[in-house]
Amino acid sequence: MSQWNDICSVADILPNSGRCALLGGDQVAIFRVAGGDGDTFYALANHDPFSGANVISRGIVGSLGERLVVASPVYKQHFCLDSGECVEDGEVKLRTWPVRVEGDRVLLAS
């Protein structure tokens, strides 16, 4: 069963942006999306399959229609925050992790 890992405080991640966390050997991009009824957090792989660089956490967060996405800062492909699916290429999907907040701490499941 999954185990929750304490990563950082909520304040370490600016609203509507991402930070990269190290979880075991994996790089995980955690995003904080501000909303009217509180913030929502998402976690997906930091590795950008198009450029081969570990940069996803540095992308701009936004929406395309109803979907919440992050744009890779290298070649600008969009990935859905909840599913990791690439908007431009249906074959490509980033790994996702469960993420939750307890108090002011952000936790990732491994």
d(CA 68, CA 86): 12
Only segment of 37-45, 71-79, 91-99 that touches other proteins (CB under 8 A): 71-79
Query: From the list 22, 82, 95, 98, which residue makes contact with other proteins (rule: CB under 8 A)?
Result: 22
What is the four-CA torsion angle of 56, 23, 107, 57, rounded to 10 degrees?
-10
Indicate if the alpha-carbon torsion angle 100, 44, 68, 33 is positive or negative: positive
* Count of Cβ atoms closer than 10 Å to residue 7 Cβ: 20
Q: CA dist 82 to 21, 75, 103, Å?
A: 17, 21, 22
What part of residues 29-68 is at the interface with other proteins (CB under 8 A)?
Answer: 30, 33, 47, 51-55, 58-65, 68
Query: Which one of residues 4, 12, 39, 93 is an interface residue with other proteins (CB under 8 A)?
Result: 12
Q: How far is the CB of 78 from other proteins (least distance, A)?
A: 8
101 binds other proteins, rule: CB under 8 A:
no
What does the binding site for other proteins look like in residue numbers (CB under 8 A)?
7-8, 12-17, 19-22, 27, 30, 33, 47, 51-55, 58-65, 68-69, 71, 73-74, 76, 78
